[in-house]
Structure 1
């Protein structure tokens, strides 16, 4: 097997240059455009879809004559809020970062973005867990489920919020290293 480092490095430069159009640090612009388009679609679908769900819950509550939401609607409300947090604090900063190819915020904004990137998924997971506990109680113990008040469901959702807010703190507590 005849292997030459000179030929290998020349071939690597030629292969690397394919699809790279005068970009800084070898960024593949075609790939970047595809990623930007996909992130924009994900962001728009998430915002429009969850805003529609929130609007539907608001109109149901306002015009159906109901003063409070049912347990499932309460869980859906908070799950939609968690998804919107994910869209605005994870997808949107990533979209801006991909468009500019640089993070434009300072140290404080970096910490806010890093906190928000974990907040949405944590919150969404914990609210889904609270929903699963509520549904488990309703399906497996239907006679005792009636004794569960909506207050228990609210407590589970508020605990999900507190756990998500608490468990995201390590993202902002780490100091930058100087190396």
Structure 2
């Protein structure tokens, strides 16, 4: 295993180089190899990389300069930050994991070892903390619907705090990770060997990041959506009792656009929990019982890591399912690509010379108007 298994989300091909305080010296350590399970992991990671890159870039472009600009001003920074965090995971974690599994050992030197391990943990924290910010925003929007004017400023402050905390919590990686060379087998690995005097210190370090990466975000998100569900339930009970409350949308407890956004964020959070929970549970098992790696098949570690990376692909899919503007942007992009391809074809070029060459082409103004009709409810959420 290359380095801190839980800290960098990079379960590798063999147990980590042991600490000298409680384990045999590195000269007795057997170097890993590029197994068939690791080959499957590399292939699956490449597929996820291509899909995550295309989908998250499309989401980023749509929200930044496409029809997604019609989202409420306090929602746009949240979706831009979520897409940016997913792209960091895509461009940092996935390619490095694939190359690292193929080369088995580390060839990047000490400085690159520290930098990339820092960037991995930074991307992971940012992804988790932004989901927390989204959950807090939804809680405030449902529980305090008349306080929408301050949402934009509040969300920007929370996003700055989320990115800053991610940067701070990832900074220890620059000091703990280094390139370790095993002279006896001519093997170099990027690991934490020698950075901790005792194994319990490394376990505490791993548990700290497990708590900040998974436990605290999960607790905050669970608390937010539990309060939202309780609020909706109490509103139903008050309606049945005949009480009258001020609402923004007729007789609805929550406006439809806001409820739609709430459902989208719930599914995004659930995808994070479902995808990464098995991997973290295996990490906890390893911290307290390191010998389990010798009895657990390699394909289990690799499959759980690939399943965790699937979360990066889920966010734009979920967003597109709940957001007509994103689907409209994708449809417009596909139409442009087909139009450009047909214009470059010889048959199309000859047909354009005729007098009726433009009678089957769509009217951009009509398309924009039709696409815009589907977005009228999005900007009010």
| 1:126–1:160 contact (8 Å) kept in structure 2 | yes
In the TM superposition, what is the alpha-carbon distance from 1:26 to its structure 2 partner?
6.2
Structure possessing the higher relative contact order (Cα contacts under 8 Å, 6 or more residues apart): 2
Partner of 1:58: 64
Partner of 1:131: 134
In the TM superposition, what is the alpha-carbon distance from 1:101 to its structure 2 partner?
2.0
1:39 aligns with 2:45: yes
SS, match of residue 90 in structure 1: helix
Distance 1:73 1:117, change over 3 A: same
Count, aligned residues: 152
Question: How far apart, in 2, do the equivalents of 1:92 and 1:52 lie?
Answer: 20
Distance 1:124 1:26, change over 3 A: closer
| 2:45–2:98 contact (8 Å) kept in structure 1 | yes
Question: How far apart, in 2, do the equivalents of 1:97 and 1:130 lie?
Answer: 33
Partner of 2:73: 70
In the TM superposition, what is the alpha-carbon distance from 1:90 to its structure 2 partner?
1.2
Partner of 1:116: 119
Question: How far apart, in 2, do the equivalents of 1:108 and 1:129 lie?
Answer: 32
SS, match of residue 71 in structure 1: coil
Question: How far apart, in 1, do the equivalents of 2:87 and 2:160 lie?
Answer: 17
Question: How far apart, in 2, do the equivalents of 1:27 and 1:175 lie?
Answer: 21
Structure 2: tracts of 5 or more residues without a match: 1-29, 179-193, 198-381
Specify which of 78, 82, 88 is matched with residue 79 of structure 1. 82
In the TM superposition, what is the alpha-carbon distance from 1:151 to its structure 2 partner?
1.4
1:156 aligns with 2:158: yes
Displaced runs of 4 or more, over 3 A: none
Structure 1: tracts of 5 or more residues without a match: 1-23
1:99 aligns with 2:105: no
In the TM superposition, what is the alpha-carbon distance from 1:119 to its structure 2 partner?
0.9
Question: How far apart, in 1, do the equivalents of 2:148 and 2:38 lie?
Answer: 53
| 1:115–1:172 contact (8 Å) kept in structure 2 | yes
Comparing 52-61 with 132-141, greater Cα deviation is found at 52-61
If you compute each CA radius of gyration, which structure gives the higher value, 1 or 2?
2
Question: How far apart, in 1, do the equivalents of 2:128 and 2:82 lie?
Answer: 9
Question: How far apart, in 1, do the equivalents of 2:138 and 2:39 lie?
Answer: 42
Alignment RMSD: 2.5
In the TM superposition, what is the alpha-carbon distance from 1:43 to its structure 2 partner?
1.4
Question: How far apart, in 2, do the equivalents of 1:118 and 1:26 lie?
Answer: 24
Question: How far apart, in 2, do the equivalents of 1:26 and 1:146 lie?
Answer: 55
In the TM superposition, what is the alpha-carbon distance from 1:175 to its structure 2 partner?
6.4
Question: How far apart, in 2, do the equivalents of 1:157 and 1:25 lie?
Answer: 42
SS, match of residue 83 in structure 1: helix
Map of 1:2-21 to 2, 5 A cutoff?
Answer: none
Distance 1:32 1:71, change over 3 A: same
SS, match of residue 59 in structure 2: helix
Question: How far apart, in 2, do the equivalents of 1:98 and 1:109 lie?
Answer: 16
